[in-house]
Amino acid sequence: MSGTQSGNGTKARKSIREISPIDVYKLLPKTNCGECKEANCMAYATRLVNGELVLADCLPLHTPEYKKAFESLSELLAPPVRAVSFGSGDAAITIGGKYVLWRHEFTYHNPTPVAIDVHDLMGEAELEERVRAISSFSYNYIGRKLVLNAIAIRSVSKDPSAFGATVRKVAGITTLPLILCALDPAVMEAGLAEAKGRRPLIYAAMENSWKAMADLALLHDAPLVVFAPGDVPLLRSLVRTLTAYGVRDLVLDPGTFADAGLPVTIGTFTQIRSAACRQFDELSGFPLLGVPLTVWTGGEISEDVLKWKEAVTASMLMSRYADLLIMHSMDGWVLLPQLIWRFNLYTDPRKPVSVEPGVKTFGRPDRKSPVLITTNYALTYFTVESDIKAANLDCYLIVVDTGGLSVESAVAGRYFTAESIAQAITEFSVASLVDHTTLVIPGLSARLSGETEEATSWKILVGPKDSSGIPQFLREHWHP
């Protein structure tokens, strides 16, 4: 990939949307070995460009014979925003790795982790309780487990021994990745000494401490946050200095300002990300850290107001374009909107969220139990599942592959048809499960009832439009 380096650190390069599968295919081993689970190397190249597979999926590329090809492909496919990892083992997380400014242009990768803070003036019991609450936080959303991702340990005492002791306690309780927050290099050094093997994120290097923090980052092989609140030129200068010094894994914090400063914050984040993705500015091409926690310094009397401000700030930063957030509140009404928004924001817009098709069994159905049918759109399925379970129904539910579309969309798009229903009944051997041939279809697919009876030879009952009405419908209409 050709390009020229200019004085301001901007490098011309191809965007991911301009890379064709042929560009990638030319550099592949062309063995058609199938190790990537694709039919041939061209199919793999296509999915690689689409962001559906990664270079690690091609095993021959990771042999000495193809070392140069691997390096060339790594450069060709490198995102404008560098991917940076911190943490260790299975708990390690990766931030950044973005290719485009807008989600509809190309799938966003590496969902924004949410870290919750603790500090070194907390009592031991309070600290342990909070860390365990962060580690165990979990919410099931349409079959996906939403969790918190990291713990930010803040030095409030500014005492190296107190900070080190707190880091030691937290590291002994949880395996979650750690963010060590101390602006004094001596305090940071004490914390790093207690986090060996954990590869924490170091927060932060500033104008007056960059060299000492850089030395710690290099010594401990840890990524480093560059902090220049409200000063983008200084931030860029520090990035240039630190990369020249040898620190490659950087995270940028241009400052998070609440209240009247929030528009400026969002504008700054957008400016930096636009420079990386549109102008391919290498000094801007690092993950961005947002700190909604800063709203708690505003001096509000009401905690509810502060929590509300934090929730608003977090959601706006995640949208524009924070790759990592540090928050304070543990209230569900503050956190869940962020986690659900993150899930939806980082869902591939080309692929609706879906579940595996098949026959699902609820309760203890017998051979006279109802048989219902729906599509494999995740939100539809889990809503129906919830209503069936809430009513303690004993039944079978056929889930048809509609490409992840809802009932109404699948009917309109001819993905949920009499033919697909008949195929599902046959493919999943539904007739072997019951002694009757009666099927309940969703109310939103009522127009399919006649042709479905013809295609399946089953009696079709048109169920309610909303799955919450299934229990009453079955009580009134199901007579085996």
At 194-241, the pLDDT tens digits run 999 999 999 999 999 999 999 999 999 999 999 999 999 999 999 999
Distance CA 252, CA 269 (A): 10
Give pLDDT tens digits along the chain (480 positions). 333 333 344 444 444 446 788 989 999 999 999 989 899 999 999 888 877 787 888 999 989 999 998 888 888 888 899 999 999 999 999 999 998 888 877 778 899 999 999 999 999 999 999 999 999 999 988 888 999 999 999 999 999 999 999 999 999 999 999 999 999 999 999 999 999 999 999 999 999 999 999 999 999 999 999 999 999 999 999 999 999 999 999 999 999 998 889 999 999 999 999 999 999 999 999 999 999 999 998 766 789 999 999 999 999 999 999 999 999 999 999 999 999 999 999 987 777 789 999 999 999 999 999 999 999 999 999 999 999 999 999 999 999 999 999 999 999 999 999 999 999 999 999 999 999 999 999 999 999 999 999 999 999 999 999 999 999 999 999 986
Buried b (16+ CB within 10 A) or exposed e, 72-110: ebeebbbbbbbbbbbbeeeeebbbbbbbbbeeeebbbbb
Report domain extents, the chain. 16-76, 83-345, 358-477
Alpha-carbon distance of 448 to 14, in angstroms, equals: 49
Residue 264 tokens, joined: 């400026």
Beta bridge partners of 224: 202, 250
What would the DSSP string read from start to end of 76-92?
HT--SS-EEEES-GGG-
Q: Is the domain defined by 83-345 classed in CATH 3.40.640.10?
A: no
For residue 63, give every residue at least 6 positions away whose Cβ sits within 8 Å of its Cβ, in sequence order, or none: none
Residue 109 is predicted with a pLDDT of: 86
Break the chain down into helix, strand, coil percent, rounded to 5.
45, 15, 40
- The residue written with tokens 């009757």 in the block is 436
pLDDT (0 to 100) of residue 13: 45
The CATH code of the domain at 358-477 is 3.40.50.11600
Task: Specify the DSSP element, H or E, that contains 234.
Answer: helix 232-245
Taking Cα atoms as reference points, which of 173, 177, 202 lies closest to residue 92? 177
- Tallying the residues shown for the chain, one arrives at 480
Q: What pLDDT is attached to residue 282?
A: 94
Exposure on the CB side of residue 40, measured as CA atoms within 13 A: 4
Sign of CA dihedral 448, 453, 454, 456: positive
Q: What is the DSSP annotation of 212-230?
A: HHHHHHHHHT--EEEE-TT
For the domain made up of 16-76, the CATH class stated in words is: mainly alpha
Beta-carbon contacts of residue 390 (< 8 Å; ≥ 6 apart): none
State the Cα angle at 289 between 214 and 146, rounded to 5°: 125
418-427 helix and 449-456 helix, angle to the nearest 10 degrees? 40
